[in-house]
Structure 1
């Protein structure tokens, strides 16, 4: 019987060959193998052919081919390449390798040899480490450009992209694969990516890849007994192929590689010669080699999966050509096109595992030196030094890993930068304390760029401790400035503490770094809610930054100052700060500063009701986004366009822009934007006066995750009130009722109070409405923005004051506010809000008894609600009109005949003419006129006519 192959002990590295022994393409050498047949893969081959046909028609696909080692993934990829040749479709191939020193984006860089435009994108992309806030944007732009290059390359002829062994790919390569997958449905590209099941980056990326609409999955299982029997019949002359197939299938699970290796050792009698264990089967290919050839293969197993003859010669001191030919003849190596490699990763693993530890460490040293002498990849050199011996190995590992980390950062491969930064620090265990502080700082920066913020903060604190020991205050300052652009109060408090420590150690003349630290402290105390202190600190930071002459320090000060002044009262100063940020962007190392300046100016223009300025700034944001392919800029553009569209009543366009913004936020990984997406939907619900059950359920689920964010939590009672569940709305609103008196003026102060006021009106809560009214009524009328990032503009602020006054029973006051709101909303063309203000004013006028004016306003509001397709609001306007009609009828003292007389008086008819028209005597008409004058308290026919006109 054939024993099941044993996988042997795991080696420290597992490098894939370019093809798989027994399932790969034919070898080109002195003793070529017969290519193994493709058996049992009809369904999979059909899937690939269908993918090629679909891609040729403009509907691209990603086919993920998964399975164990030796199962035939590469053989299937080779078959896809052959199919592409049949259709005249170009092929581009890349492969990941199991080498910790593999450069970032290695599979794509290999593939880019066949796609010139992609090569240019991957070569030209660079990131400025000083622009930490632009990191995600720069990476997104690179991914978008690379995807566009592939799509363009495929536009005329189609393209087959083959990516092998992606379970070893770096995270940046997988991000690019996911980005490409998201664009395939309209591209002429078939991507075939092979992988094994393994923990790590690919396992993390796999769910998103599978969810892409264009993705298909192919899972390769072992061959059936019938498949193996057919193989046996074609390749052997054994007497009982079915019996042998049963033994082979039972012993190998149908794995084609194992079947092939065992068939190579089958005698005519059907017995297996030699050792059937997998490890021994792999080593058997090396048994017949000469000692020199075996030494060369040992060195090759340390270098990696593919054989580089020149590098191998430098490591071994041997001219390897003849020795490599010997290995090819023994089927330890194979040639595929212009690539020479081990016949399978498992062969390479077996050779590497057989090396004695000392021999292995010596070979790693020689490999590191040879790579350094020939310009090898820094990460690869660092990895060899990490596994080498000698007193200089650790220092060399740190040096090369640091170079690799910085190169990866510049290439936007942040995950790989993190890996190499960690390697550099791990190797520096015995380095001087200042050096360890610098390396820890590099690691903290890399962690922040990859989104591992908690780990980054821990290492920033570690830098501060090491820097204090090393008496290096500038490193404490650098550590305090690593984490930027985040609003978590706990995190910002910790950053503020680091800033305080750094300020304590920095000399007074270090004006620029001190200014930046003060600005960061100001932002931290803003997040903590200490707004008065934040305004004081931000003013000091900006003053110091301006005196330093450092544009980056000034921009930090501007950012902190603008944040501290995010309240309606500080509009003019915020406009000046935004314009200064735009002006400084060209000289500072923060190119995103102009984007922030334009976004701030849009906020200010909304507050001022200057929609022409809104449009100008949006055009500038669009120019910025298009010129830089800046993902965050595109997100801002669409969310702000949604706000503008909703303000002027283009509600369908508003929804479309909001959805586009949400999709962009998901692609760049901006979780905070999800809350803004739902906040905008809440604004639309506020316009419409209703929310459907499904949307409400989704909103409440999102709101349950917001934690201690009052501006988000206040929408819980709002949603319940819209659903008509007033008991639940009142219960969840209770915590907000005393809040208007407790909240300090600062960022989000006005939006929070406004939303509390909205809910108070919905619940007819006069006490809370009065608290909100007293705080907001002191502000100048504006259009409901405060600089903190407008999500939804509710137009003229006096409208809410009118609602609050009505809830408190102050109708006359409410009328004044509503009239102001009507005028303001009409002036800027805020159609839905103008209709709401007219409806509010109409309701107030009905309370005061001015029914004719109320009817006019309610009629105008109803027409607008009908035009905007707002049925709930239209129903409210219609109800008010019916009420007005009822009250007019019940309050009219005139008889029907008297009303007819009044109507004709209004037409300037004489008594005689009225008598003739109504077929009455003139004396009867005179009697009716005297009665009308008495009932209405009027004195003349002219007054009757005026009254009639007012009433109509």
Structure 2
């Protein structure tokens, strides 16, 4: 039974103010924090009632309070709710968002390409995030929208990162997002802390109700006024927590003999007392359902207990009458009346019973959904992970691995890493070398794309060792190619060692793969300053790639050779490499190769001073970038446009384009982006004068050269700070570096 909202007038007024701001085109995000049962959901319900009265669509996305939901589950619920009255697929198709949005909600945005063999990248995830942001922008341009993300403390990290992206990208959308989260259970605290710092974010911290509000709440539940002594006692026992007050109100309502309320009180005992009034079958059903989750289909606990679904529906009606579960409009779907009720029932299970019920749940899901479980895949992984202690760990590992791969395909990299680690833990003593190697090759990319480079490299090193022991040079190469060069010497040395290990075992039968690994070796050696090894590796890579004729190998080899041939003495070879890359780019579905070819042409033309050629090639590169639709491609295009503007002495345009380029690539964490930005600032400052930012980019803002440790590897990196010092009149410091 829903009671009136009492004691929350200031918070509700603040939320309504944020709604008004959103309606005027000032998007707002409100983080509502508080302990379990404090009334966050009830407050949001009241807000959406106010929103509906103003013609604002309000939708919910509820994070599942147990691991097992698919990635981005709250957002999928939001899109489903919006899609009940709006043709989201049509809007996505109109704005070319379908392919990216299908990674988040394939049931809504159909027709995407098969993801089975698709490789994931950080850019893929940002394309997905941008697609969601653009969809919300188009939606709220038409009509205002209020979103409640409930139980956000339970959300997967990818969902919170998407939320953060939406907040950072908010401009003039008529959008209000309320994020409810327990402040006692912040599993992704760092992401949440970043969210609170966004300019569009406001926050509410809900505390307990004051004693007068507790009295009003008790009266609304019981139906009559409650004595001051009882109000004071309930307030003391509950701390004003509305959910706990409601539970004690039931005890007050049931009190017929004038007995006093208990001196102490806890939720598990209160729920246990309510369960004692139900039939044994109903209690058993609720205990099974508590393992499934707060929301559940009656068919699942029915299959777990071997009962007919109709019998389970009758038992759930009994539980609903006791206020323990709710019956939504969709037949067969139920949910516990509050997450704390489910928590209390599950907490009452002993370890043997909990493990047994998880095994029954895994079996029930397999029985109901077969080998194509769809969104239930992650529930299967969760149940099998717990049930594996009974045995059948290999079977458990298979399901967990499948979930890890699916999370990776959906660009939920943190979730994927957790699942692969879980699979390795569950199968520690039961899986063979091949299984362990495969799981490590899943874990490595997931950690790398989660920005855990050391962890990703550690997984790759172990996988390469196992692959070598098994005589699998292809898997050694796969481990070597997981991470790109980073400009971090310690990491780049590990990448180099992995490449050299792979090259040592790749023979002529693996020519295309050997060519790609040689190309990666050339790139990483350039980062490490070993130009001679890079030169030899790039030459062999290109020769092998041309001999085998495989396009992917040829593109990798050409790119590596272009990077190696970056000096003025190799200008003619670079020009030739550009033409060869363009020849590849003219093939089917090769916009990335074509873009690389045009950029190489631009590089050669700039060095020759042929600015008209540069301008023409930039136009061609822009067409490729438009087709690719990615941040990296846009960054490369903006860089070229900025350099052309600089060469034409349009320094204001050059600065504007360079800033746009850097802001475009910064979220991807590209290792060369800061270096390119610093180079731009130094070069333009040579003409227009240095400022604090150009000095800071070279580490010279707040210290003298005598106090700093400058790099000595590579002429440009070593001398760039000296040039800046000389140009600013700091001759003594410049001389010291020289």
Q: What range describes the TM-score normalised by the shorter chain of this pair?
A: 0.7 to 0.9
What's the counterpart of residue 178 of structure 1?
164
Q: 257, 276, 282: which one pairs with 2:265?
A: 276
Q: TM-score, normalised by structure 1?
A: 0.69
1:221 matched to 2:220? The reply is: no
Confirm or deny: 8 A CA contact 1:641 1:657 kept in the other structure: yes
Match of 1:75?
42
Query: Could you tell me how far apart the structure 1 residues matched to 2:710 and 2:132 are?
Result: 36
Show the 5 A alignment for 1:612-623: 612-623=612-623
Q: Which of 296, 301, 318 is the matching residue for 1:307?
A: 296
1:89 and 2:40 aligned: no
Residues 126 and 410, structure 1, Cα contact 8 Å, conserved in 2: no
Q: Give the TM-score normalised by the residue count of structure 2.
A: 0.88
> What is the aligned partner in structure 2 of residue 646 from structure 1?
646
1:103-182 equivalences in 2 (<5 Å): 103-116=70-83, 117=88, 121=101, 122=104, 123=106, 135-182=121-168
Taking a change above 3 Å as real, the CA distance of residues 331 and 111 of structure 1, as seen in their structure-2 partners, is same
Further displaced range: 519-528 or 364-373 = 519-528
Match of 1:547 in 2: 547
The aligned runs of 1:442-841 (5 Å cut-off) are 442-585=442-585, 592-670=592-670, 672-692=672-692, 696=695, 700=699, 711-712=716-717, 714-727=719-732, 729-730=733-734, 733-735=735-737, 737=738
SS in structure 1 of the partner of residue 334 of structure 2: strand
CA distance in 2, matches of 1:220, 1:239: 25
Q: How far is the alpha carbon of 1:82 from its aligned partner? A: 0.5
2:639/2:658 contact within 8 Å kept: yes
Of 37, 42, 63, the match for 2:4 = 37
Q: Is the 8 A contact 2:35 2:184 kept in 1?
A: no
User: How far did 1:365 drift?
Assistant: 1.4
Give 1:356 shift: 2.8
SS at match of 1:64: strand
* Number of the residue aligned with 2:334: 340
Q: Flag the 1:450–1:705 CA change in 2: closer, same or farther, 3 A.
A: farther
Q: Distance in 1 between matches of 2:226 and 2:358?
A: 49
Q: In the aligned structure 2, how far is the partner of 1:702 from the partner of 1:347?
A: 58
Matched, 1:257 2:243: yes
Determine helix, strand or coil for the equivalent of 1:537.
helix
Distance (Å, rounded) in 2 between the aligned partners of 1:721 and 1:86: 67
Map of 2:385 onto structure 1: 386
1:354 aligns with 2:348: yes
CA drift at 1:106: 0.6
Contact 2:34–2:207 (CA<8 Å) still a contact in 1?
yes
Counterparts of 2:411 and 2:529, CA distance in 1:
35
Mark the structure with the bigger radius of gyration. Answer: 1
How far off is 1:228 after superposition?
Answer: 2.0
Q: What is the SS of the residue equivalent to 1:115?
A: helix
How much does 1:720 deviate? Answer: 4.4
CA contact (8 A) 1:58 1:186 kept: yes
2:183 match: secondary structure: coil
Tell me, in whole angstroms, the C-alpha distance in 2 between the residues paired with 1:586 and 1:205: 43
Residue 16 of structure 2 corresponds to 49
CA contact (8 A) 2:662 2:673 kept: yes
CA distance in 2, matches of 1:567, 1:636: 20
Secondary structure of 1:265's aligned partner = helix
| 1:838-861 Cα deviation digits (max 9, x unpaired) | xxxxxxxxxxxxxxxxxxxxxxxx
Output the CA distance in 2 between the equivalents of 1:705 and 1:203: 35
What root-mean-square deviation, in Å, do the aligned CA atoms of Structure 1 and Structure 2 show?
Answer: 2.9
Kindly indicate whether residue 233 of structure 2 is the aligned counterpart of residue 231 of structure 1. no
SS at match of 2:25: coil
What displacement does 1:583 show? 3.7
Distance 1:175 1:590, change over 3 A: farther
DSSP-derived class of the 1:195 partner:
strand
1:418 aligns with 2:447: no
- Kindly tell me: are residues 130 and 312 of structure 1, through their superposed partners in 2, closer, same or farther at Cα, counting changes over 3 Å? closer
Structure 1 residues 396, 640: closer, same or farther in 2, change over 3 A? same
Deviations 1:816-839 (A, max 9, x none): xxxxxxxxxxxxxxxxxxxxxxxx
Number of equivalent positions: 698
1:515–1:542 Cα contact (<8 Å) kept: yes
1:646 Cα shift?
2.4
Query: Do 2:535 and 2:564's aligned partners in 1 also have CA atoms closer than 8 Å?
Result: yes
2: CA distance, partners of 1:707 / 1:128: 43
Cα distance between partner residues in 1 of 2:484 and 2:598:
20
Once the two structures are superposed, what CA deviation does each residue of 1:10-52 show, in whole Å capped at 9, x if it has no partner? xxxxxxxxxxxxxxxxxxxxxxx2x222222122111221222
Q: What is aligned with 1:834?
A: none
Counterparts of 1:583 and 1:506, CA distance in 2: 28
Mapped partners of 2:186, 2:232: distance in 1? 36
SS of alignment partner, residue 295 of structure 2: coil
Residue by residue over 1:185-210, the C-alpha shift from the partner in whole angstroms, topping out at 9 and shown as x without a partner, is 31011111111225666312123322
Query: Structure 2 vs 1, CA of residues 666 and 315 (structure 1 numbering), >3 Å: closer, same or farther?
Result: same
SS in 2 for 1:264: helix
The whole-number CA distance in structure 2 between the counterparts of 1:323 and 1:286 is: 12
Instruction: Provide closer, same or farther for how the CA distance between residues 76 and 591 of structure 1 changes in structure 2, counting only shifts above 3 A.
Output: farther
Unaligned residue ranges in structure 1 (runs of 5+): 1-32, 738-952
Which residue of the partner structure matches residue 407 of structure 2?
A: 408
Which secondary structure state, in structure 2, belongs to the residue aligned with residue 150 of structure 1? helix
8 Å contact from structure 1 (residues 104, 413) kept in 2: yes
